[in-house]
Amino acid sequence: MPGTVQSIERAAAILRTLAGGPGRLGLTEIARTLDLAKGTTHGILRTLQLVGFVEQDRVSGQYQLGGALLHLGTSYLDINELRSRSINWADPLAARSGESVRIGTVLEGRVLVVHHVFRPDDTFQTLDVGTLLPLHATALGKVLLAYRAGGPPPDLEAFTRLTLTDAKALGTALEGVRDAGWAGEVEEFLLGQAAVAAPIRGYGGLVVGAIGISGPVDRVCDSRYRPRPHLVGYVRDAARAISRDLGAAR
């Protein structure tokens, strides 16, 4: 059968065995059940353990299904952990860009703001952690949509004249985001405001959130109404640094 990967088939078989077993299973038992060499089985178990799909009991050394499997399909990374792990890189982004920084994840068809760093000009600002933003009309949202399975949200509400309300146009834009590795948004949500965002990746390259800056169009964009390249660079650097810390490179 062309196109199948043997080790993935074996990994799936190990997971099924663990799921069907009476509780925890030892290495020998698993290897015997599947008629695999112990060394091969151990290698696969170690990898599964690394991604959180399998856990090993500290005392007995036996294996069981890992917590990450249970969360598969719901939220992949705890949002408070995402904030904790990003905070060191969100601050320099605000300092370098001179703009406010937000980190978002998807919650029920919208962007949930999980972290917010003020624009570093010491004017009065209010923390908007917990706020929900539209997916299709923000740079953070476009990043989150671009790397998510399934179509865009059905209701493409217009916030300004420039909001992408046509599913096809949005689809093209998202393709552009995937090609470029970042998303821009210019007056599509709020008049006079523009934003840039890039994906934060976790284990295995899975996109777990987005980080971005936003500010007045004349500061964020150049004369051609495009986000300034150096700002895009800062945003992507920050996103990469967080992803590296989250183990995306492995």
Residues that bind ligand ADP (CB under 6 A): 80, 84
**Which of another protein, ligand ADP, none sits in contact with 121, Cβ below 5 to 8 A by type?**
another protein
**Which of ligand ADP, another protein, none sits in contact with 72, Cβ below 5 to 8 A by type?**
none
The footprint of another protein on this chain (CB under 8 A) covers a number of residues equal to 26
Q: Cβ(196)–Cβ(189) under 8 Å?
A: no
Give the Cα separation of 76 and 58 in Å (integer). Answer: 24
H runs (alpha helix) in 23-113: 27-34, 38-50, 67-71, 79-97
Least distance from C-beta 77 to ligand ADP, angstroms? 13
List, as own/partner pairs, every contact residues 111-114 make where C-beta atoms lie below 8 angstroms and the sequence separation is at least 24, other chains included.
Answer: 111/135, 111/138, 111/140, 111/141, 111/144, 111/210, 112/79, 114/79, 114/80, 114/82, 114/83, 114/209
Least distance from C-beta 97 to ligand ADP, angstroms? 25
Least distance from C-beta 93 to another protein, angstroms? 9
Radius of gyration of the chain (CA): 22
Q: Which one of residues 18, 45, 48, 79 is an interface residue with another protein (CB under 8 A)?
A: 79
Is 76 among the residues that bind another protein (CB under 8 A)?
no
Helix (H) or strand (E) holding 112: strand 110-117
Is 87 among the residues that bind another protein (CB under 8 A)?
yes
CB contact set of 250 (below 8 Å; sequence gap of 6+): 50, 203, 204
Q: Which residue lies nearer to ligand ADP by CB, 79 or 177?
A: 79
Least distance from C-beta 87 to ligand ADP, angstroms? 9
Least distance from C-beta 80 to ligand ADP, angstroms? 6
Q: Which one of residues 19, 70, 127, 249 is an interface residue with another protein (CB under 8 A)?
A: 127
Task: Spell out a b/e string for 5-23, using b for 16 or more CB atoms within 10 Å of the CB, else e.
Answer: eeeeebbebbbebbeebee
Is 94 among the residues that bind another protein (CB under 8 A)?
yes
Is 35 among the residues that bind another protein (CB under 8 A)?
no
Both tokens of 85, joined, read 């792990």
Q: Which residue lies nearer to ligand ADP by CB, 84 or 125?
A: 84
Both tokens of 174, joined, read 């998202």
Q: Which one of residues 35, 121, 155, 179 is an interface residue with another protein (CB under 8 A)?
A: 121
**Which of ligand ADP, another protein, none sits in contact with 233, Cβ below 5 to 8 A by type?**
none
* 227 secondary structure, DSSP code: B
Q: Which residue lies nearer to ligand ADP by CB, 86 or 214?
A: 86
Is 84 among the residues that bind another protein (CB under 8 A)?
yes
Phi, psi dihedrals of residue 197, rounded to the nearest 5°: -145, 160
Contact footprint for another protein (CB under 8 A): 67, 78-81, 83-85, 87-89, 91-92, 94-96, 116-118, 120-122, 125-127, 129
